[in-house]
Structure 1
Amino acid sequence: MPSLDTELDTARRIAREAGALLLEVYATPFSVEDKAGGQGPVTEADTRANALIVEALRRAFPGDGVVAEESDNSAAAGRFERCWFVDPLDGTQEFVNRNGEFAIHIGLAIGTEAVLGVVYRPVGDTLYSGVVGQGGFVEKAGARRALRVSDVAEPASLRLVVSRSHRSKLTNQVVARLGITREQESGSVGVKCGLLAESQADLYLHVSDKSYRWDNCAPEAVLRSAGGILTDLGGTPYRYDGSELQNLRGLLACNAAAFPHVQPVVTRFAREAGLIT
């Protein structure tokens, strides 16, 4: 793969600019609206950051497609060899709850694969970035270090990171079957995948169909740059070619060592629950 240094530097800069905007809104008594169709909350921060990121990407890379959560441009992914997937505020509920666990996602897919990702958590100034096959880094408190997933292979030793939202029966089944005893709760998909990428967690499950490619393009690239794996609950990688934007079959993120032990168990329970065929 050709060097993507320019793309990575640009995405990192844009993410930090958008992060500053989010923090501006975060410090105010902002209002919260409900998206149409029960798609969750939306704030001024979502729409303003969306506009900033999309405009900056189109200016920097006019030949690329851009698919962003708060934009009506879902057809772009199928028309371009290179397409950016943007979530300007992943974890809007965390933003509303003011717990700091929200992030900006800027991911680049080439062909059908996520290849470059930037995940920026403004609260705490933590930036994850990576290119698949070329490594990834986390920048925190002025320090920069390489990302690498853990090599924990024994299922009972895995550290699971889960959403703060409703606990699913499937997650309980997987935890019981694998003998997992260590869990932590976190917000954004990007924050959770970042924890895996820096070896602070080993496994993450998202067991509903309520996520989209902009939720996981950047986190997948960061995680894979660190040696991890992200698939649907059946163990199949998602494609970023525009044929499907909703993650209808959930998400499974894991270190590479444990994946062969975890995936068959997750797949079995997901199939029994009707989440995959």
Structure 2
Amino acid sequence: MPATDLPLLIDAARIAGRVATSFAGPTAARWDKPGDAGPVTEADLAVNEVLSRTLQLARPNYGWLSEETEDSAARLSADTVFIIDPIDGTRSFVEGGRTWAISIGVAHRGVVTAAAIYLPLRDKLYAAGAGLGATLNGAPLVATQGGMTSDSKVLAARPTFDAKHWRGDAPAVERHYRPSLAYRLSLVGEGKFDGMLTLRPTWEWDIAAGSLIVSEAGGTITDRTGAPLRFNNAHPALNGVVAGGPGLHRALVGELGPDHAA
């Protein structure tokens, strides 16, 4: 399945990239979603539409979960499902930045088997298939393998390192930030950063594709408690995410406080 799905995802990501870049970020029509759920633009919807047509035509028996499609319980009866974020990092897109990504994953019985993450304005296409490894523009990726030190570079929002989230002091690491969760995970798989974490409930479409890129690059990724990630849940959110090389991941999860601290 990964061998046959992966070329489809890569092609779809490139098509979607051309659609997204046909819009000028700062001038694209935008509005805020209800419930303080963040911004959406006409580009998000256009990319969602082209991905829906391309992917569902090719795999009509797969379920569909996308940030920009009204959710349906029909996907829960599908063994295999597309999990899509048409534009992850919409705020960066709106501001005219380059750090936004198209994220496409396929999950089979809760486990991601194929993934593509494309940053058109950075010309970076990350891809992974279960058992096939992870790549960036076709070149193999390897996550860093060291333990946690003061030089470890970890991608996380500033509030993640508030003392309330940790059993003792927050880890003394180098904190960095990128607006797209999919890109953060890809950078961990690439070995540019040693780890990433987010402690808030996290939508599946932000994480699905990137989770496979991390694991196929030799990293470890779980929820904030260390439990394996499972996808296509009735409520499509995860209990935070921690990713990194095995040693760093183990150290971060071991130092995190209880779930209720988030």
Q: What is the TM-score with the length of structure 1 in the denominator?
A: 0.88
Q: Does 1:184 align with 2:185?
A: no
Report the alpha carbon displacement of residue 272 of structure 1 after superposing the two structures with TM: 5.4
Matched position secondary structure for 1:178: coil
Report the alpha carbon displacement of residue 6 of structure 1 after superposing the two structures with TM: 2.2
- 1:130 pairs with one of 125, 128, 131: 128
- 1:241 pairs with one of 232, 251, 256: 232
Instruction: Name the CA distance, whole Å, in 1 between partners of 2:91 and 2:26.
Output: 16
Matched position secondary structure for 1:136: strand
Q: Does 1:212 align with 2:218?
A: no
1:152 is aligned to 146
Report the alpha carbon displacement of residue 263 of structure 1 after superposing the two structures with TM: 0.9
Q: Does 1:255 align with 2:248?
A: no
Q: Which letter maps to 1:229?
A: T
1:63-212 map, 5 Å: 63-139=61-137, 144-163=138-157, 167-168=158-159, 170-173=160-163, 176-180=169-173, 182-209=174-201, 211-212=202-203
Question: Against the structure 1 CA distance between its residues 237 and 148, is the aligned structure 2 distance closer, same or farther, given a 3 Å change threshold?
Answer: same
Q: Which letter maps to 1:161?
A: L
Q: What is the TM-score with the length of structure 2 in the denominator?
A: 0.92
Q: Which letter maps to 1:178?
A: P
1:231 is aligned to 222
Question: Against the structure 1 CA distance between its residues 265 and 46, is the aligned structure 2 distance closer, same or farther, given a 3 Å change threshold?
Answer: same
What is the aligned-residue RMSD (CA, Å)?
1.8
Q: Which letter maps to 1:196?
A: V
2:38 is aligned to 40
- 2:259 pairs with one of 247, 271, 274: 271
Identity of aligned residues (%): 25
Matched position secondary structure for 2:31: strand
Q: Does 1:62 align with 2:55?
A: no
Matched position secondary structure for 1:48: helix
Question: Against the structure 1 CA distance between its residues 28 and 41, is the aligned structure 2 distance closer, same or farther, given a 3 Å change threshold?
Answer: closer
Instruction: Name the CA distance, whole Å, in 2 between partners of 1:94 and 1:101.
Output: 6
Matched position secondary structure for 2:22: helix
Q: Is the 8 A contact 1:75 1:242 kept in 2?
A: no
Instruction: Name the CA distance, whole Å, in 2 between partners of 1:94 and 1:27.
Output: 8
Q: Which letter maps to 1:34?
A: D
1:7 is aligned to 5
Q: Which letter maps to 2:198?
A: H
Matched position secondary structure for 1:18: helix
